[in-house]
Amino acid sequence: MMAHWTLDDIPWDRFDRAKVDPEILRIVKAASLVEQNGGDYARYLCGVFADDPLFKEAATRWGNEEIQHGQALGRWAALADPAFDHAAACARFSAGFRVDLDATASVRGSRARELVARCIVETGTSSYYTALADATDEPVLKAICKRIAADELRHYKLFLMHLERYLAVEGLGFWGRLRVALGRIRESEDDELAFAYHAANEVIGVYDRGRSNRAYARRAYSVYRKHHIERGIAMVLKAVGLTPNGRLNRVATNVSWWFMRQRIARLEREAA
Ligand SMILES: [Fe+2]
Ligand SMILES: [Fe+2]
């Protein structure tokens, strides 16, 4: 394991208020809640992998790193918006979105499937924070996102390593892996991120999943550039056992990029 950073390594004194983009601030607030929830996910993973001490140790360390991502982003959001109360927002989020802490089997159906899903999540976060680091001109947020992106890539490699171990045990084939991967990608449009956006930004009125999802997606998708998508697709292809950087990547990248641009244009027209 590489040496990990702490909150003290972040150059907080370089914070530049003039460079805070209010739209990015909204999605950073949402991300700070989802990351903070990593502790609950670690507990869930320790239940699923109850007789695997090697994995449990790694999952516990992983969960602590995710919590730290939440703390760094939350602290930055409070610098940018002193009215933002990270702890209170976390409490609002946890009250409405709960991970099954007492699970003894993966909600994905098996341990190998669970690990495929974890690889997809880390692919998503790794490309998202790389894109955010590139999109923001605010020096402190840039420094935080670069560190987080490096962690997420390391997390992806960690879960991929354990996936290879469990693939040998379970014999989960290509189609099984692909199905889990596509299912997990689709879920990114589910409740977790939309509700985090709602809870973090104190959206007035009751939670409207569709509206929050569109508001979140419009801002989050806008930070991506095509090369971020290309890299994410390479990681997904590798997780399902395909060549990461071949012709398939080029096709999938072009198709995904086109759909993403269409989606952003539609969301902008709707003023989501
Ligand atoms: Fe994270
Ligand atoms: Fe991660």
**Ligand 2 mean position, distance from CA 75 (Å):** 18
Residue 1 pLDDT? 46
Residue 264 pLDDT? 96
**Ligand 2 mean position, distance from CA 177 (Å):** 20
Return the ligand number nearest the Cα of 68.
1
**Ligand 1 mean position, distance from CA 66 (Å):** 4
**Ligand 1 mean position, distance from CA 269 (Å):** 31
Rounded average pLDDT per 10-residue block, the chain, 272 residues: 81 98 97 94 95 96 97 98 95 87 88 96 97 98 98 98 94 93 88 92 84 95 97 97 96 97 95 82
Q: Token pair of 33, please?
A: 């809640």
Return the ligand number nearest the Cα of 37.
1
Cβ-based neighbours of 123, under 8 Å, separated by 6 or more: 156, 232, 235, 236, 239
DSSP string computed for the chain: -PPPP-GGGS-GGG--GGG--HHHHHHHHHHHHHHHTHHHHHHHHHHHTTT-HHHHHHHHHHHHHHHHHHHHHHHHHHHH-TT--HHHHHHHHHHH----TT-SS-TTSSHHHHHHHHHHHHHHHHHHHHHHHHH---HHHHHHHHHHHHHHHHHHHHHHHHHHHHHHHH---HHHHHHHHHHHHHHTTSHHHHHHHHHHHT-SSS--HHHHHHHHHHHHHTT--HHHHHHHHHHHHHHTTS-TTSHHHHHHHHHHHHHHHHHHHHHHHTT-
Return the ligand number nearest the Cα of 42.
2
From CA 242, how far away is CA 158, in angstroms rounded? 18
Return the ligand number nearest the Cα of 71.
1
From CA 108, how far away is CA 110, in angstroms rounded? 6
**Ligand 1 mean position, distance from CA 69 (Å):** 5
Judge if pTM exceeds 0.85: yes
**Ligand 2 mean position, distance from CA 119 (Å):** 9
Q: Which long-range contacts (CB under 8 A, 24 or more apart) does 203-207 make?
A: 207/96
Cβ-based neighbours of 77, under 8 Å, separated by 6 or more: 25, 28, 29, 32, 84, 86, 200
How distant, in Å, are the alpha carbons of 40, 57, 109, 114, 183 from that of 176? 26, 27, 11, 12, 11
Residue 3 pLDDT? 56
What phi and psi values does residue 72 have, to the nearest 5 degrees?
-65, -45
